[in-house]
Each structure stands twice: as structure tokens, then as C-alpha cells.
Structure 1
Amino acid sequence: MINFNGIITDKPEFSSYNRGMLYGDAVFETVRYSSGKISFWEDHYFRLMASMRILRMEIPMNFTLELLEAELLKTINASNLKDKSASVRLTVTRNAGGKYLPEDNNVSFYAFASELNDPFFIMNEASYEVDLYKDHYLNADLLSTLKTANKLIHVTGSIFAKENNLANCLLINTNKTIAEALNGNLFLVKDNHIKTPPLTEGCLRGIVRKQLIDILEKIDTYTFEEAPISPFELQKADELFITNSIMGIQPITKYRKKLYTNLVAKNLLGKLNAKARLG
């Protein structure tokens, strides 16, 4: 079932002139629902509002944190997932009209839910090999940090990964440093030091990235920094792992001839699950 502007339907009426379809003029959030609540909803909401402001969309007065949460829960209930775990995608598009220049900046939204197998983040220890995707570079700018409907680099990179029997790829930015993975933020571990690219590298302003940074800043076990990651650092690292709001933490097991451990990822996953239950 689809929630289209607050109406539950299995046949949403999308305009042929939908700006998300024509120009990628849309932003979205994918949230995790479990045990009757949406994990880190407040952070998702404020990221969505910030993205809409950056794209100069008109934010409706009724687009409150409470209203959009209620609409997502309504979507979950209509999909018979109230007592299960689910991922929910909320997309906001600028209304139809105009060409590159919109006729107005008002918006519509739609949401749908899909069932998840696990009620909390779990550690996937299966083989997870990655390589660099070098056909296209990610811009190291503000727009790259947003979850917009324009994700062609991620789409073509995913096809490349499949064609080469890879689980994922790492994206290089216009500075020739590593920005992120196809589906999440990258963290690198060397000894007891952890680093992740700063937002100025063009990586996604990830919600789980934000939660892990908060965790790392409050414990003495590791030192942490936001700093560019060179491709040459990858083979010197002890661990690499990817984060996003649905899978939590995904350890990378292999990059080219380098094999990695996952001890730090396991430790942080427990702390992340505890934070998700509280948040």
C-alpha cells in the first residue's frame, strides 16, 4: 500500500510531469521501524527539512515532526506490518509544472513500507568484498550529502558491482579520495583509531554515521576523527565497515588482496542497538 499525500491507496495517481521523475527533483528518507517505533526519527526528520530548504522547496506548515511520523505509522499499519519490523521510504517531490525552473515550490509526498527480517541490527559476517568504482566521480559538495532522487552514480556503480561479483563499491570524489560506499558511509579502523570522511568530501549526511560519531566521542576505547581517506589507506587498515539506517553496520571482509577483521564493528554494533532502543 502507498500513502500518497495522506491517502492510503494501492493505485497512486502520479503525474506524467512528476518532477522527481523528470528531473530527480525530490528528496527522500528511508527509516527503520521496529518494536512499534521509528529509529532515530527526529534525526531523519530534521535531515529531511534541511534537504528541502537547501533545494528551495516550500515546506508546508503542517509538515511537523508529529504529522509525518503519524503518516509513516499509518503506512506501516496499512501494510500489515505494525507488529513486525519494516523499512519505510518517504519521498518528497516538488509539484509538477515548469521545466528546469519550477512553476512553484510546493510539494507532495508518498511513502511505502517493506518488511524486514530482524527487529534489530545484526552482524552479517558473510564474505563482503568491495572495490573502487572509477567510472564516475562523486562531487565533493553540499548536494552530494543529500538523499535526492538523483543517484545515477550509485545505480551504475551497483550494476558494476554485480557484473564483477562484488558486494559493494567505494565511491571516489572529485578530490580523488574515498567519499562513501554505494549504500552508506565508510569507516576505517587502524589500531585503536577510527576515521570517516567529513561531509566536505561529499559523503551522505548519514543518520547512523551521526549516531556512531556520537558514540565514539563518548568512549575512551578509540580515538576518532573526520578526515579524508586516501585509496592507499584502504590496504593498511585493520577494518573497514559501512553504515546505513537499515543494516546498521556492515563489515567489509576483502578489498583486492587485503582481508579485514570485524572486532571493532561488533563492539560498536552492540552500542548502536542500545542507542536505537533508547532513541
Structure 2
Amino acid sequence: MVNFDGTLTDNPQFSPNNRGMFYGDAVFETLRYSGDKIVFWEDHYFRLMASMRILRMQIPMQYTPEYFQEELLRLIEACGLTGKPARIRLTVIRNEGGTYLPTDNGVFYYALAGELDQPFYVLSDKPYEVELYKDHYLNADLLSTLKTANKLINVTGSIFAEENGFQNCLLLNTNKSVAEALNGNLFLVKGTTIKTPPLTDGCLRGIIRKQLIEILGKLDTYTLEEASISPFELQKADELFITNSIQGIVPVTKYRKKTYDTKVAKDLLGKLNAKVRLAN
């Protein structure tokens, strides 16, 4: 079942001139539904609106937080997922017309949903090995911080990881700093200091990244730094972990010959789950 621009259907009709397919001219949000609510919904909504404005899309008047929340919950109900943990993808695409220069800056959307295994974030105890992906580099600019439909670096990096037996890869930007993972933001722990790349390095403006920054800002036990991470720092770190909206926190257990602890990731995961329960 798909919510296609407000209509629930099993057979959405996409035009062959769809600009999302032509040019990746689209933005999207990946959301977690749990406990009868969309987790951190307001943060997702405002990021989506900001992304649309940056891409000079015309935002329809009806695209309020309440409108989208109601439409996504209608989708959840239609898919038989009410009360179950679920993953939702909401994609907004510029209307067809034009070549690189659009003739219509209006938009439409569609949303999909699927069931998840866990109603809350849990840490996996499976090995999780990563490697640097060096075939292509992220631009250290504003567009790289958005969730657009142009994710070829993430696609080719995921293929590289699978072919070489890695669970994930870390992406470098054009300054050769480590910017993020294929599917989330990166945090590095050294002693009581926790580092995460700044948005100016081209990393995703992640929702869970934002939540952890807020959590760490209230704790005396850790010092947070938003600073560039060089590849040389990876093997000196005590911990590495990756964050995203679906998995929460994913500890890295190995990078090359270095193995990592997971104590800080476990500590922060409990605090993140507590914040999820309290969030509207």
C-alpha cells in the first residue's frame, strides 16, 4: 500500500517524465514509527521543509506538520501496522517538466511503510566491521547535508562493502576528512571526549545526530566536539558508532586491525530510548 499524494493505492501511477528518476530531483525522510507515534516527527518535518526550500521547491500550503502526520498514520493503518514498529519512507518530488531547468517548481509526494522487528532501539552483538570507501568523495557543502534522491556514492559504497565482507563503509569528503557512514552519522570516542564531524564537512543533518548532541550537552561525563575527523584518528579511538533514525546507534567493532569497545554506545542508547519515550 502506498500513500500517493494523499490517495491510498496499491497501484500508484508514476509518469515516465518523473524528475526524481530523471535527475534525482527529490528529497526524502526515513522515519521510525513506534508506540503509536512517529519518532521525532517535528525534527523530521522541519528538516524536510528546509530541504525543499534549499532546493527551491514550492511548498504547498497544506503541507503542515498535522497534514503529513495524519497522512502517514493513515498509511500505517492501511498497511495493518497500527501499534507495530514500522519504517516509513516519505519522498517529495518536483513536478515534471523542463530539463535541468524545471518548468514547474510544484511538488507531489508518496510514502511507503514496512514492519520493523523491534519497538525500541537495541544494540546488536554481532561483529560490525567497516572500511574507508575511496572510490568517490562527498562534497563538503550544503547539498551533501540533505537527504536527496541522488545517493550514488551510498549505493556504490554499499556494493563495495558487500563485495568485500564489510558491514558498512566510512565516506571521505573532498578534504579527505571522514564525514559519515554509508547510512548514518559517525561518532568517535576517545576517553571522555566524543567527536562527530561538523555539517560543514558535508555530513548528513541527521535526526539522531541532533538528539545525541542535545543529550551530550546535558551530561557532565562526556565532552562533545563537532570537529573534522582524519582517517588516522580512527585507529586511535576507543569506540566508533554510527547513528540513524531506524537503528538508533550501531557500534563499530572493527576497522582494519583495530577493535573497539561499546560501553559508551550502550550508555547513550539507554538515554536515547528514554528520550524517544518522552518525545511527543
TM-score normalised by structure 1 residue count: 1.00
**2:103 corresponds to 1:103:** yes
Measured in 2, the distance between the counterparts of 1:83 and 1:50 equals 30
Letter in 2 for 1:16: P
Instruction: Give per-residue Cα distances to partners, 1:228-271, cap 9 Å, x unaligned.
Output: 00000000000000000000000000000000000000000000
Please tell me the root mean square deviation across aligned C-alpha atoms, in Å: 0.4
State the SS of the aligned residue for 1:158: helix
Measured in 1, the distance between the counterparts of 2:51 and 2:138 equals 18
State the SS of the aligned residue for 2:135: strand
> Gaps (5+ residues) in structure 2?
none
State the SS of the aligned residue for 1:187: strand
Q: 1:246: which partner in 2?
A: 246
Measured in 1, the distance between the counterparts of 2:195 and 2:83 equals 37
TM-aligned CA deviation for residue 277 of structure 1: 1.0
Measured in 2, the distance between the counterparts of 1:130 and 1:230 equals 15
TM-score normalised by structure 2 residue count: 0.99
Measured in 1, the distance between the counterparts of 2:234 and 2:83 equals 41
Q: 1:176: which partner in 2?
A: 176
Letter in 2 for 1:18: N
Letter in 2 for 1:267: D
State the SS of the aligned residue for 1:236: coil
Q: 1:224: which partner in 2?
A: 224
**2:209 corresponds to 1:209:** yes
Measured in 1, the distance between the counterparts of 2:55 and 2:83 equals 36
Measured in 1, the distance between the counterparts of 2:72 and 2:175 equals 38
Q: 1:120: which partner in 2?
A: 120
Q: 1:34: which partner in 2?
A: 34
How does 1:1-279 map onto structure 2 within 5 Å?
Answer: 1-279=1-279
Measured in 1, the distance between the counterparts of 2:263 and 2:94 equals 44
TM-aligned CA deviation for residue 207 of structure 1: 0.1
Letter in 2 for 1:218: K
Letter in 2 for 1:244: N
Letter in 2 for 1:20: G
TM-aligned CA deviation for residue 99 of structure 1: 0.6
Instruction: Give per-residue Cα distances to partners, 1:213-236, cap 9 Å, x unaligned.
Output: 000000001011100000000000
Letter in 1 for 2:159: I
State the SS of the aligned residue for 1:27: strand
Measured in 2, the distance between the counterparts of 1:40 and 1:26 equals 22
Equivalent residue pairs, number: 279
TM-aligned CA deviation for residue 17 of structure 1: 0.4
State the SS of the aligned residue for 1:277: helix
State the SS of the aligned residue for 1:60: coil
TM-aligned CA deviation for residue 83 of structure 1: 1.9
Measured in 2, the distance between the counterparts of 1:15 and 1:153 equals 26
> Gaps (5+ residues) in structure 1?
none
Measured in 2, the distance between the counterparts of 1:273 and 1:18 equals 39
State the SS of the aligned residue for 2:267: helix
TM-aligned CA deviation for residue 186 of structure 1: 0.1
Instruction: Give per-residue Cα distances to partners, 1:108-156, cap 9 Å, x unaligned.
Output: 0000101001000001121000000000000000000000000000000
Instruction: Give per-residue Cα distances to partners, 1:59-114, cap 9 Å, x unaligned.
Output: 00000000001111011111100021100000000011111010110000000101
